[in-house]
């Protein structure tokens, strides 16, 4: 019940971020369409269509991305993203639209920037009405045309470096971009060779850095983009419409996130404290592993790059009463609903009351929510990729991510701060393999001043869980996994009392 859709969501998130850095835009034309083919591990998995409309007062960039991914022996699944950006001729943001659909789930966002620098935005997922809000436009942030103008202003002299801020419509977040211009090279574009300049882009978001290499022409238009991702290589290459729309042969990335265990672990072992040694694979820049109440991270002396992750079973503190009334800023923020964790929806509030019953103890309420969600999701399968809490409440089906999302929503609705954890979990058997670590998601609740994990999908938390990222349920937080999943091996395990 773990792994397949989870990896698909990470891949979707990666391409959502990349969408704004691989576009072929054309100067000097009123309207023109260009195409790029998308490859993973050398196999064509999709395409991107880019249309740039340049008028007297503004520029509109329309991008459509279609991907197909394989998951074991299952049929390929299609993922679609659409982005439309409206900017002035000098690169000032005016408006945007974003739509994404994958695995039967969807999300939308749209926004308009007023003259006073305020962003009026609507956001929604399938199963909920779009919510409206107004926030300040991030200072100095640009969109597609703005970033193109920055690149042209800075030029392509080897050794040039500069930074700018890129706004991402899907998450309403800003990404810091560090650009370093390299030398000109002859680049193979599916048999056509062009002299292009190598440009490195280091994209910073959520505390992580993703490095992308683009090959651009004299107008700074991209013709090829290369990115290491989850231990694989992704490429986008300019091509003809006919080739872009030709049949895909997507690589099967199902096994990418599966990590063999150096030895089998028993249920007794996993109820104790377990230390895991993580070693980055060749080519991995770094592996990011966070610490938490249950998980301590340290470096192993005498081994370069070795990371020791020690996971313990923490007893949930007693004494806290509902609802949370403390002053911890992170906990207060974790009480708020999000576009995917709609804890303020009537359906979720009603479910939370049903789940917690007459309990006034936070620890007891969390345990009840864990068991309630395990039993409430009756169809435990891989047909849903990443549904919102409201979708799960209505459909009652899904994988580990759906369990985690719904559990977080019920906690928040009950007055308990909650967040989503993504990482790995040990499985004695999974998809025909033994003693394997599988991508997984679970939930943490803020109890007694501590973030304590619970797992509604597996009906309990133990030392089999290795956390790689914490988030609020928004898919953009999966960006943190790009440098981790598929980038390390587990080489040693030590079980102690």
What pLDDT score does 490 carry?
A: 95
- pLDDT at position 74: 61
Is 250 a member of any domain?
no
Asked whether residue 238 is domain-assigned, the answer is yes
Strands 465-471 and 141-142: unpaired
User: What is the reported pLDDT for 25?
Assistant: 45
Name the nearest CA neighbour of 18 among 198, 189, 170, 153. Answer: 170
Nearest to 484 by CA among 203, 210, 178: 210
Establish if 254 belongs to a structural domain: no
Judge contact between 79 and 12, C-beta under 8 A: yes
Indicate if 271 and 240 belong to the same structural domain.
Answer: no
Q: What local confidence, expressed as pLDDT, does residue 285 receive?
A: 58
Scanning the structure block, which residue is given the tokens 């991702």?
229
Q: What is the mean pLDDT of each run of 10 residues along the chain (497 residues)?
A: 51 57 51 89 90 88 87 71 92 92 77 92 76 89 91 94 90 89 96 95 81 90 86 89 93 76 96 94 73 92 84 90 94 93 94 96 97 91 68 88 95 97 93 90 95 96 95 75 82 92
Q: Which residues sit opposite 489 in a β-bridge?
A: 279
Structural domains in the chain (count)? 2
Range of the domain at 18: 4-244
Q: Is residue 308 part of a domain?
A: yes
Same domain, 217 and 365: no
Neighbouring C-beta atoms of residue 270, cutoff 10 Å: 20
Same domain (yes/no): 163, 304: no
Q: In this structure, what CATH number is given to the domain that contains residue 481?
A: 3.10.620.30
Can the peptide bond before residue 286 be classed as cis, meaning omega within 30 degrees of 0?
A: no
What HEC string does the chain produce? CCCHHHHHHHHHHHHHHHCCCCCCCCCCCCEEEEEEEEEECCEEEEEEEEEEEECCCEEEEEEEEEEEEECCCCCCEEEEEEEEEEEECCCCEEEEEEEEEECCEEEEEEEEECCCCEEEEEEEECCCCCEEEEEECCCCEECHHHHHHHHHHHCCCCCCEEEEEEEECCCCEEEEEEEEEEEEEEEEECCEEEEEEEEEEEEEECCEEEEEEEEECCCCCEEEEEEEECCEEEEEEEECHHHHCCCCCCCECCCCCCEECCCCCCHHHHCCEEEEEEEECCCCCCCCCCCCCCEEEEECCCCCCCEEEEECCCCCCCCCECCCCCCCHHHHHCCCCCCCCCCCCHHHHHHHHHHHCCCCEHHHHHHHHHHHHHHHCCECCCCCCCCCHHHHHHHCECCHHHHHHHHHHHHHHCCCCEEEEEEEEEEEEECCEEEEEEEEEEEEEEECCEEEEECCCCCCCCCCEEEEEEECCCHHHHHHHCCCCCCEEEEEEEEEC
* Residues 287 and 214 both lie in one domain: no
Q: Are residues 180 and 317 in the same domain?
A: no
Instruction: Answer yes or no: do 387 and 451 share one domain.
Output: yes
Long-range CB pairs of 179-188 (<8 Å, 24+ gap) are 179/151, 179/154, 181/154, 181/155, 181/156, 181/157, 182/158, 183/158, 184/158, 185/215, 187/215, 187/223, 187/224
Does any domain span residue 252? no
Asked if residue 281 and residue 227 are part of one domain, the reply reads: no
pLDDT tens for 171-225 read 788 889 999 999 999 999 999 999 999 999 998 877 778 888 999 998 888 899 9
Report the percentage of the chain scoring pLDDT > 90. Answer: 56
Return the axis-axis angle of helices 4-18 and 400-413, rounded to nearest 10°: 80
Q: Are residues 238 and 271 in the same domain?
A: no
27 domain residue, yes or no: yes
* Residue where a domain terminates, one of 244, 277, 298: 244
Question: What integer pLDDT is reported at residue 128 of this predicted model?
Answer: 66
Answer yes or no: pTM beyond 0.85. Answer: no
Q: Is 256 inside any structural domain?
A: no
Is position 17 within any domain? yes
Sign, CA dihedral 337-338-340-346, equals positive
Residues 236 and 365 in one domain: no
Residues 353 and 232 in one domain: no
Residues 180 and 313 in one domain: no
Residues 16 and 138 reside in one and the same domain: yes
The rounded distance, in Å, linking the Cα atoms of 73 and 87 is 44
267 phi and psi angles, rounded to 5 deg: -60, -35
| Beta pairing class for 433-447 and 488-496 | unpaired
């Amino acid at each position: 019940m773990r792994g397949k859709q989870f990896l698909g969501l990470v891949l979707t998130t990666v391409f959502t971020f990349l969408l704004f850095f691989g576009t072929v835009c054309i100067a000097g034309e009123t309207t023109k369409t260009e195409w790029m083919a998308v490859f993973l591990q050398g196999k064509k998995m999709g395409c991107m269509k880019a249309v740039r409309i340049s008028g007297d007062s503004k520029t509109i960039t329309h991008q459509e991305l279609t991907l197909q991914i394989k998951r074991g022996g299952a049929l390929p699944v299609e993922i679609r993203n659409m982005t439309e950006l409206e900017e002035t001729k000098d690169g000032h943001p005016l408006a945007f639209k974003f739509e994404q659909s994958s695995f039967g789930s969807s999300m939308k966002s749209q926004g308009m920037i007023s003259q006073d620098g305020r962003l009026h935005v609507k956001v929604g997922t399938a199963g909920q009405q779009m919510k409206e809000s107004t926030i300040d436009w991030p200072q100095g942030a640009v969109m597609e045309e703005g970033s193109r103008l920055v690149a042209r202003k800075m030029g392509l002299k080897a050794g040039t470096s500069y930074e700018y801020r890129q706004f991402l419509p899907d998450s309403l977040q800003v990404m810091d971009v560090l650009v370093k211009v390299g030398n000109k090279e002859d680049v193979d574009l599916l048999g056509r060779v062009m002299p292009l300049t190598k440009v490195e882009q280091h994209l910073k978001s959520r505390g992580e850095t993703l490095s992308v290499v683009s090959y651009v022409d004299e107008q700074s238009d991209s013709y090829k983009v290369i990115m290491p991702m989850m231990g694989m290589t992704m490429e986008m290459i300019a091509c003809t419409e006919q080739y872009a729309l030709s049949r895909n042969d997507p690589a099967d990335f199902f096994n990418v996130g599966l990590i063999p265990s150096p030895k089998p672990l028993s249920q007794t072992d996993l109820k104790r404290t377990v230390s895991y040694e993580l070693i980055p694979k060749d080519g991995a820049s770094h592996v990011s592993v966070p610490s938490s109440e249950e998980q301590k991270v340290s470096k192993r002396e005498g081994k370069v790059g070795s990371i020791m992750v020690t996971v313990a079973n923490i007893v949930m503190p007693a004494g806290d009463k509902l609802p949370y009334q403390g002053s911890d800023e992170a906990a207060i923020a974790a009480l708020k609903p999000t576009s995917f964790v709609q804890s303020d929806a009537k359906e979720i509030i009603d479910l939370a009351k049903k789940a917690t019953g007459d309990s006034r103890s936070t620890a007891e309420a969390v345990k009840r929510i864990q068991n309630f969600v395990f039993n409430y999701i009756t169809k435990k399968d891989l047909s849903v990729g990443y549904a919102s809490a409201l979708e799960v409440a209505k459909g009652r089906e899904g994988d580990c991510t759906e369990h985690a999302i719904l559990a977080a929503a019920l906690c928040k609705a009950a007055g308990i701060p909650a967040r989503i954890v993504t990482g790995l979990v040990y499985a004695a058997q999974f998809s025909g393999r033994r003693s394997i670590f599988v991508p997984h998601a679970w939930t943490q609740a803020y109890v007694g001043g501590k973030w304590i994990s619970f797992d509604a999908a597996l009906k309990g938390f133990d030392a089999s869980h290795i956390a790689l990222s914490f988030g609020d349920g928004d898919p953009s937080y999966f960006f943190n996994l790009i440098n981790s999943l598929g980038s390390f091996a587990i080489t040693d395990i030590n079980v102690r009392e």
